[in-house]
Amino acid sequence: MHLVPYKEKEITKLYYSIGEVSAMFSVNNSLIRFWEKEFDIIKPKKNKKGNRMFTPVDVENFHLIFHLVKERGYTLQGAKDHLKGNIDEAVSQHEIVKRLQKIKSFLIEIKEDL
């Protein structure tokens, strides 16, 4: 009998700072600010000090933008056009890619255990 290793559930926060978001994607804060201005699907709240506070939805939208621009090679305008016309399709494709990456990681773990 093969037991699947226990994986802790990822803890999500209500808000993420710009530093936390930039660290998630290994990019500079300036790129996060730039994408915020360029893509209207990113709508951070601002606290009393004026610091951006990104919601989990904003983070998911960053994942989508990152996937289109950095992984699939879209230009910024191309990514905007793709999201504007096909947001549901883009989200669906991104979800498929995420699932396939998880399956790949799981298979690699199994291979290493053999």
Residue 41 lies in a domain: yes
Q: From CA 86, how far away is CA 78, in angstroms rounded?
A: 12
Residue 75 lies in a domain: yes
CATH number of the domain where residue 63 is located: 1.10.1660.10
pLDDT in tens, 21-64: 999 989 999 999 999 999 988 999 998 999 999 999 899 889 88
pLDDT-based confidence at 83, cuts 50/70/90? confident
Residue 49 lies in a domain: yes
Q: Quote the number of domains for the chain.
A: 1
**DSSP state letters, 35-94:** HHHH-TT---EE-TT--EEE-HHHHHHHHHHHIIIIIS---HHHHHHHHHHHHHHHHHHH
Q: What are the φ and ψ backbone dihedral angles of 104, each rounded to 5 degrees?
A: -60, -45
Q: What are the φ and ψ backbone dihedral angles of 53, each rounded to 5 degrees?
A: -125, 110
Q: In this structure, are residues 42 and 36 in contact, taking their beta carbons and an 8 Å threshold?
A: yes
pLDDT-based confidence at 1, cuts 50/70/90? very low
Residue 2 lies in a domain: no
Residue 25 lies in a domain: yes
Structural domain span for residue 38: 16-113
Query: Taking the complete model, does pTM exceed 0.75, yes or no?
Result: no
Residue 38 lies in a domain: yes
Residue 4 lies in a domain: no
What DSSP element (H or E) covers 61?
helix 56-66
